Chains A and B, each alone.
Chain A
Amino acid sequence: MSTPLIRNERFVQIAAPLLVGVLVLLLWQISVMAFDVPKYLVPSPVDIAESLVKDFSSLFGALLMTLKVTFLAFVIAVVAGVAASLLFVQSKWIEVSLFPYAVLMQVTPVVAIAPLIIIWVDDTTWALTICAVIVAIFPIISNTTLGLRSVDPNLLSMFRMYRTSRWQELVRLRIPGALPYFFGGLRISSGLALIGAVVAEFVAGTGGAKAGLAYMILQSGYNLQIPKMFAALILITLTGIILFAAMVWMSDRALRNWHESALKVEH
């Protein structure tokens, strides 16, 4: 317990990137001040912080809107993605017939189909959510399917020897074995849900009561409120980081007893 902080792995993991961040911010502030760069070109960190406080109410409302779409899309992507994977592992035929369409959805740029969806779906929130789902669902489907298929063939033989039903095989063998893959998909998908929500909103350009962070960025750009633009950007980034950290935490908790990815290795 008397190890110096610098030798403490956890401390270093947090302190090192933090230090880099602080240094970059300092350098940024100093350069902007030294070269007298106007606010509407490159705002200083202090300008951005001011804007965060000043425009808090409008920014916060927008954040809630974006969060709503992100979470809705993420939950739908997870539920639908897992359902699709479970369907795929039922038979090779189903997978062969349907998987290409999952890929199709993945490779179609969301900006290209967002306008269509926005025309077809009246409610903006739902239109944005559908776009975000399309972006976020693929990692869930592909990872979970891979996981459900990656069973130890000997364990599978054993289950067959004890004449296990497919249901038992799924519940006792395939699903627990697929968890590490599923959580891997979750990490990627959570970020994609946010990206999907923001991109879709850029395309939709919805303002008014339903404005999200993407609209804030667009509008601040038109009004040359560059500090506010940065503030919105920071909120998006923070949301992404928190989402990712939450996923990592969840997967560590779920897998900590057995999976390599979540084990604390002592050297």
Chain B
Amino acid sequence: MTANKVIPLNAVPEAETETNVAEAGASSRPILQVEGVDKVYGNGTVALKGAGLTVKQGEFVSLLGPSGCGKSTLLRIMAGLGEVTTGTVKWWEQDYDVVGSKGRKLAFVFQNATLMPWARVRKNVRLPLDLEHVSSSESEKKVDDALEMVGLKGFDESFPRELSGGMQMRASIARAMVTEPDLLLMDEPFGALDEMTRNKLNDDVLKLRKENGWTIVFVTHSVYEAVYLSSRVVVMAARPGRIVDDIKIDKPYPRSPDFRISTEFAGYCRQVSQALERASGMGESKEDC
């Protein structure tokens, strides 16, 4: 994957200035680079204008912004689920289309657990492996490991509707895990859950990230969640959707719930909130978000 290094000149400075963001030991190699991306939907909505973002291996990047600012759009583009109108997306420093979908090892976690209601948990979690025609002996082992890691051991024969919202989300995370992705994209994964469950799952995500060495892009509308989880918080503004701020959270992992009640945490939250407020004021329309 080292051949074919095509880095446009204007991307070089950015790539060089952002080391030490991720935790110690994380390489600074960019997994994903979004450069000057515009996205105009068929109905004329300009969802993104000049969006640029580099995600490096080992980073935990949160996307934060008022609703409708294009967070999901950006994430879908990162996943190769939507065409860009202009701009480029690179995967391991190669053009996205050149790499092809087969070369991109990524997984997506949606806001809803998005499980197949007719299939048992085991079958749901195994789905990506089935779709990739992985042999069943190999996939069974991976599924067992994933279920154990997310704390769903013993629920493999349940149907999704027999699980609580938090457990369904765990199954959804297990499903994302089984393919051992280089990059995990999560779109407001815990937005629909109560705060207790959400906090618990946040800690679990951090733990799983450490164990599996995940690089994560995480969309959220919660300032606290963003600060608690991320090594970087990227703030977006709406109309047109663009990136307006990029805040490092210089707190080493592992992070414990103590971090949530520290003054350091409060300081970051204030900083991010202010950035978010500025971003909300930047929109061309005057409505309050």
| Residues of A participating in the B interface, judged by any CB pair closer than 8 Å | 152, 154-155, 157-164, 168, 172-173, 176-177, 179, 257-259
Contacts and interface: CB of A to CB of B under 8 A. Distances in A.
B118 A157 contact: no
A198 to B, nearest CB: 36
A159 B79 CA distance: 12
Given A154-B110, A257-B159, A161 B81 contact: yes
A168 B118 contact: no
B80 interface: yes
B132 A177 contact: no
Contact of A157 (B108, B131, B159): B108
Contacts of B102: 163
Contacts, number: 51
A160 B76 CA distance: 12
B109 to A, nearest CB: 10
14 contacts: A154-B112, A154-B114, A155-B116, A158-B127, A158-B128, A161-B79, A161-B106, A172-B127, A173-B116, A179-B118, A257-B118, A258-B118, A258-B161, A259-B118
A164 B114 contact: no
A173 B117 CA distance: 10
Nearest to B179: A162
B101 A163 contact: yes
B81 A162 contact: no
Given A158-B110, A161-B80, A161-B101, 4 more contacts: A157-B79, A161-B108, A257-B159, A258-B159
Contacts of B79: 157, 161
A162 B118 contact: no
Interface string B116-137: 1111000000011011100000
A154 B176 CA distance: 14
A164 B159 contact: no
A177 B131 CA distance: 17
A257 B81 CA distance: 32
Contacts of A161: 79-81, 101, 106, 108
Nearest to A160: B81
Interface of B: 76, 79-81, 101-102, 106, 108, 110, 112, 114, 116-119, 127-128, 130-132, 159-161
A173 B130 CA distance: 13
Contacts of A257: 118, 159
B107 to A, nearest CB: 8
Nearest to B129: A162
B128 A162 contact: yes
List the 8 closest pairs (A to B, CB-CB), nearest first.
A162-B131, A154-B114, A154-B110, A258-B117, A176-B118, A258-B118, A163-B101, A164-B131
A81 to B, nearest CB: 21
A152 B108 CA distance: 15
A157 B116 contact: no
Nearest to A173: B116
Most buried by A among B106, B114, B117, B160: B117
Most buried by B among A159, A161, A163, A172: A161
A27 B102 CA distance: 75
Contacts of B131: 159, 162-164, 168, 172
B117 A157 contact: no
Contacts of B130: 172
B70 to A, nearest CB: 17
A162 B106 CA distance: 9
A162 B159 CA distance: 23
A175 B117 CA distance: 13
Given A160-B81, A163-B102, A259 B117 contact: yes
B81 A157 contact: yes
B101 A158 contact: no
Nearest to B76: A157
